[in-house]
Amino acid sequence: MPSASSTPPWDVHRLPRAEGRVFLITGGNAGIGYFIAEQLSTTGATVVLGSRDPAKAEAAMASIRSRVPDAHVRAIRLDLADLRSLGAAAESLAVERLDAVVHNAGVALDDPPRRETQDGHEVMFGTNHLGHFALTARLMPLLSAAPAARIVTVGSFAAKSERLDLDDLQSRRDYRPKRTYGRSKLAQMYFGLDLDRRLRALGSPTASVVVHPGGALDSLTPSRPPVHVRTTTARLRAAPAALLVQGKHAGAWPAVRAVLDPAVAGGRLWGPRLFSLRGTPRREAVWSHLTDTAAAARLWDASRDLTGVDPGNPRG
């Protein structure tokens, strides 16, 4: 006979109910963030899209409601490149508690020149890492008010081959867009794992989990007009790639599981099952360079100094 404590395998198409819970997805109006929001909306939870662009947020919410008629979805204006705005963004949630935040939003530049945020930080490092670092500090009171909140950081497979230059985090000396992007995502992943260690040391019930989507292509992503439109030509051209990678709807699965599955513990890395590039979500070994706690501590100290806040300090 099966054990009474056994649970059915995780099914990405049959998510558990989550009525009464509130989830914030940064960059929830497009790409993987949109599909995280759409999938979480099927659980009965309140899903909040954090977006810089109100028009794009409205389009995303209309698309979600067309597929999930009873969806509880709304949006707040969130600009991770403007650190001074993040306190007001957190207040605009207007909730007593936050059950999960998914740090998904990101900037990826393909070409020079190097650009900076209005705070004077290189735009990919400043948005992808420092923005989420500072936002976490602003959200911590709401996360701490939930019984078992989750902070889910969406990293990137592109970070696996990168290494941080702790003496040039802002890429002032040697700026190469693709490398700078990979390093910004690597910094996010360091942060997510180090944050969980710090939360455990404080005895906090909040857990921090790191995920990555594997290989997620627009051309393999189902249409969600006007948020995303896939042409027949693009679908046919991408068909061979589907043997190795997947669409962004599937790239959302590790983050969705990290939010909902009580068996997902903090301080872990989750990604796609097949070669870490495609398939259903599973726990995988933390990449060896992400286990460098000394590098993580140096990054944390630098991020605290650059943002003026500390997510691991209950007093901010």
| Mean pLDDT to the nearest integer, 32-37 | 98
Query: What pLDDT score does 23 carry?
Result: 99
Query: Across the chain, how many H-helices and E-strands are there?
Result: 10, 10
Query: What pLDDT score does 239 carry?
Result: 82
**37 closest CA partner among 266, 228, 242:** 228
**129 closest CA partner among 313, 315, 302:** 302
> Which tokens hold the place of 90?
């957190």
Query: What pLDDT score does 314 carry?
Result: 62
Look at residue 244 and tell me whether its pLDDT is greater than 90. yes
pTM: 0.95
Confidence of residue 316 (pLDDT cuts 50, 70, 90): low
Kindly give the interhelix angle for 132-144 and 177-201, rounded to the nearest 10 degrees. 30
**306 closest CA partner among 134, 85, 164:** 134
Query: What pLDDT score does 127 carry?
Result: 98
| Mean pLDDT to the nearest integer, 258-278 | 97
Look at residue 34 and tell me whether its pLDDT is greater than 50. yes
Q: Which of 34, 175, 181, 190 is catalytic?
A: 181
pLDDT digits (tens, 9 = 90+) for 81-133: 999 999 999 999 999 999 999 999 999 999 999 999 999 999 999 999 999 99
pLDDT averaged over every residue in the chain: 95
Integer angstrom CA distances of residue 225 from 37, 131, 229, 231, 297: 15, 29, 5, 11, 43
Look at residue 1 and tell me whether its pLDDT is greater than 50. no
Query: What pLDDT score does 4 carry?
Result: 44
181 part of the active site: yes
